[in-house]
């Protein structure tokens, strides 16, 4: 057994195993499967700031309802993140309809995500804001387990799993 005592509370550098359900505008939009809670290192900005702040000092087995405002979640909607793109720049196989989400590359090869806001004869208006920007987020969380992060995990900035789990970097 580890010589360090198992942490009793959510604190920085503690590996948190947490179940959650996220509701936005009265609709559940994301949740952890009961079999697969999320696992992250507290204080490493692995979850949005408002959620990270709200779970400090929680204990294993504790449940909590958390409201995260846009400024502590995905930010406010940035009016600069809207862009008009000539319609003829889109391949013919892309459905040009409001609400369609697109994945594209910028000039540096970075992946960008956008949502079509509107389409007219000549122009497609794209929104590059995070889809949850400007939204109030309502979480139901349960802390499943706590353990001290290893020095290697802290050095790498993410949780390392046993061989039977595979983490995606």
Residues 117 and 152 in one domain: no
User: What residues make up the domain containing 26?
Assistant: 14-74+133-156
Q: What is the mean pLDDT of the segment spanning 147-152?
A: 93
- CATH number of domain containing 121: 2.40.10.330
Residues 33 and 61 in one domain: yes
Residues 144 and 95 in one domain: no
The number of folded domains in the chain is 2
9-56 per-position pLDDT tens digit: 999 999 999 999 999 999 999 999 767 899 999 999 999 999 999 999
pLDDT greater at residue 130 or residue 4: 130
Residues 98 and 140 in one domain: no
Q: How many residues does the chain have?
A: 169
Residue 169 has pLDDT above 50, yes or no: no
Residues 90 and 115 in one domain: yes
Residues 43 and 87 in one domain: no
b/e for 113-144, b at 16 or more Cβ within 10 A? ebebeebeeeebbbbbbeebbebebbbebbbb
Residues 62 and 144 in one domain: yes
According to the model, what pLDDT value does residue 4 have?
A: 65
Residue 162 has pLDDT above 50, yes or no: yes
d(CA 6, CA 24): 34
Residue 3 domain flag: no
- Contact call for residues 96 and 124 (beta carbons, < 8 A): yes
The CA-to-CA distance between both ends of the chain, in Å, stands at 28
Residue 163 has pLDDT above 60, yes or no: no
Residues 85 and 101 in one domain: yes
70-108 per-position pLDDT tens digit: 999 999 999 999 999 999 999 889 999 999 999 988 889
């Amino acid at each position: 057994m580890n010589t360090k005592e198992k942490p009793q509370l959510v604190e920085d550098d503690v590996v948190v195993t947490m179940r959650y359900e996220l509701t936005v505008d009265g609709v559940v939009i994301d949740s952890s499967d009961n079999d697969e809670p999320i696992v992250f290192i507290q204080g490493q900005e692995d979850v949005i700031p408002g959620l990270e702040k709200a779970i400090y000092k929680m204990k294993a087995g504790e449940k909590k309802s958390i409201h995260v405002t846009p400024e502590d979640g995905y930010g406010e909607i940035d009016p600069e993140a809207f862009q008009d793109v000539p319609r003829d720049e889109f391949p013919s196989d892309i459905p040009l309809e409001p609400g369609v989400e697109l994945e594209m590359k910028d000039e540096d090869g970075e992946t960008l995500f956008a949502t079509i806001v509107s389409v007219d004869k000549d122009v497609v208006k794209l929104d590059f804001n995070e889809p949850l920007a400007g939204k109030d987020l309502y979480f139901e969380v349960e802390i499943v387990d706590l353990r001290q992060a290893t020095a290697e995990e802290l050095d790498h900035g993410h949780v390392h799993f046993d061989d039977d789990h595979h983490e995606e970097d």
